[in-house]
Structure 1
Amino acid sequence: MKWHLLAVGQRLPDWAEAAYEDYAKRFPPEARVHLRTVKAEPRSSGKPVEALMAAERQRLEAALPKGARLVVLDERGDRCTTAALAQRLRQWQLDGIDVAFVIGGPDGLDPALRDAAHWRLRLSDMTLPHALARVLLIEQLYRAWSLNTGHPYHRE
């Protein structure tokens, strides 16, 4: 099983890039998170928001690994503790299916992509900038992985 993170937006602030890379390099080679970014549709184009999100959806769908379980980050998604995420990841690992976590663009995800998801995950009840959401997701994946491997990173 491989983990993939697909995100709209290619350029992160330096602080977010450094934080993301810090967590990404902590995973062992067999548990790496594979990051793929897609270009955000220019907001200055004058197109309606729906058209912008649809264009981003097409790019994300093209980048999705074939047959992967689709998990979208969505403010209306399910709340989840780290322990519950670890349990879910453990079950998915037993299923042997790749998992793709998707972070949308500035306006969120196109409803068709949200509706196609196997799971909608909410990282917080608060609004997060996309750079911070990417860092928070990789940190929680690392924490869940470490919990599943018995590493003392997670404390209850």
Structure 2
Amino acid sequence: MKLAIVAVGHRQPDWISAGCSEYLKRLPPEMAARMIEIKPEPRGSKSREQLLAAERSRIDAALPASVRLIVLDEKGDDLTTLKLAGRLEQWQADGRDAALLIGGADGLDPALKARAAEKIRLSSLTLPHGLARLLLCEQLYRAVSVLKNHPYHREG
């Protein structure tokens, strides 16, 4: 299974990009992941709905065919690292590639949320966009380390 982290937003600071790259390169080949950055729609005089629809079009164009969509959403399932590891295992057994979507400043278009196979949240806290990316990358690596019985994650 290949993973794609699809994130709407501007170029991130070097320390965010470096951190994400570091965690993603540690993933095993059978769960290789990449970051896909989506340019946010310029605000101008557009409504929120117009902004989200334009970003949805860009996201749709960037998504691989028949991919499992997982939306990061504040109302999504609150997972522990062990539960995320279990989800990764389920997604891998499904046989499809997976895309984890991180919305921009205004979130994600409701149509994308409706198409998602799952909604998960990273935290009950409000996180800066770049930090959410980095946290997701680290947690994916941590969840894979659980599945591989690697000592990176220590429970208890």
> TM-score, normalised to structure 2's length?
0.95
* Residue equivalent to 1:53: 52
Question: What is the Cα deviation at residue 28 of structure 1?
Answer: 2.9
State the distance in 2 between where 1:28 and 1:10 align: 28
Question: What is the Cα deviation at residue 30 of structure 1?
Answer: 3.4
**1:64-103 alpha-carbon deviations (Å, 9 max, x no partner):** 1111110011111110011001011112212211111011
State the distance in 1 between where 2:97 and 2:139 align: 17
State the distance in 2 between where 1:2 and 1:32 align: 5
* Residue equivalent to 1:70: 69
Question: What is the Cα deviation at residue 10 of structure 1?
Answer: 4.1
Question: What is the Cα deviation at residue 19 of structure 1?
Answer: 1.3
* Residue equivalent to 1:12: 12
Q: Percent identity?
A: 57
Between 1:145-154 and 1:27-36, the stretch displaced more is 27-36
Question: What is the Cα deviation at residue 140 of structure 1?
Answer: 0.5
> TM-score, normalised to structure 1's length?
0.95
* Residue equivalent to 2:36: 36
**1:22-73 alpha-carbon deviations (Å, 9 max, x no partner):** 2112123332212211110012x11111110110011101111111110011
Deviating 4+ runs (over 4 angstroms): none
State the distance in 1 between where 2:19 and 2:137 align: 9
State the distance in 1 between where 2:138 and 2:71 align: 16
Structure 2: unaligned runs, 5 residues or longer? none
